[in-house]
Amino acid sequence: MSVTACKFHYTEFKGWREREVKLAIIGECMIELSNSDSELYKLNYGGDTLNTAIYLSRCGGNVEYVTALGDDSFSSKMLSLWQEEGVGVKHVKILENSVPGLYLIENEPNGERHFHYWRSNSPAKYLIDKFPESLDEIKDYDAIFLSGITLSIYSESTRKALYDFLSEFRVRGGMVIFDNNYRARNWSSLSETSKAFNQIMNLTDLALLSMEDEVSLHGEHSMEYCIERWLKCGVSEVIVKNGASGILAANKDGKFEFDVPNVVEPVDTTAAGDSFNGAFLAAKAKGESLEKCIRDGQFCAAQVIMHKGAIVPKSISLKGA
């Protein structure tokens, strides 16, 4: 696909050009084990929303991470690493006598991956129940980002509390950003997932979607169908990513197609969407055009998928022209 020839208007966050943006990301970070070229596994830390926060920071954005950790040495190490990355931690809560969840990544020769989780008692899943003040602390932020995986770690009653908060947050002028990241094994059933996603759709202003996840949830259909489904729920701007096939975006000014400038052979696609989101949001916070935001996201993701693990070394340049 190629970029549609037109003037790109961009749905800006109110006043974002004139001041520092306050953006919060709600989610979970876990201990990550990823295999190298040998049979050994490398220990790291990751999670879809944390990955987005780190790449947003590396691309020049300001972000606060909202989660809960344990009182163990792994949690302490996580906090230190996030601070080194420039990710804000003032809203991170500590749950006593608990440890973070763990996930293992298996990579196929073509770069695709499979995830295995051990997270049933992760402190992040108790954030809202044990620390209800966590949401009130971010009520005056400009934007809140969360994902389908964020929703999956909470109980139905906790999700209800989150939806109520997000509804009030939007009334106050805040923007809700949602990534449809979907892991089937994190949910008890497809009907539970559908109910949760339908509820968040009606509270979303900007949707950053993976076509792969849309197909997993709703079956085979076109990117155009996906766009229309989200727009009908009142979402202001929808971005649908479809790997090497490109991106379809839509907002009040129309639909716009973007090709992939330089298709690369991936080594590990673990954080492809997360890194795109981070770079996209960093550009959005600066008031950049839709085309610039998407191109920044594509460039960042292209660098990330050429390396193993969710977080690439800091020596890797993530900013394009």
CA angle 160–121–81, rounded 5-degree value: 95
Closest CA to 257 of 79, 3, 70: 3
Residue of 48, 205, 213, 274 with catalytic role: 274
Calculate the CA 66 to chain-centre distance: 13
**Cα torsion through 175, 59, 237, 201, rounded to 10:** -60
CB atoms within 10 A of CB 297: 29
Alpha-carbon Rg for the chain in angstroms: 18
Q: Can 71 be counted among the known catalytic residues?
A: no
Q: So which residues are the catalytic ones? A: 274
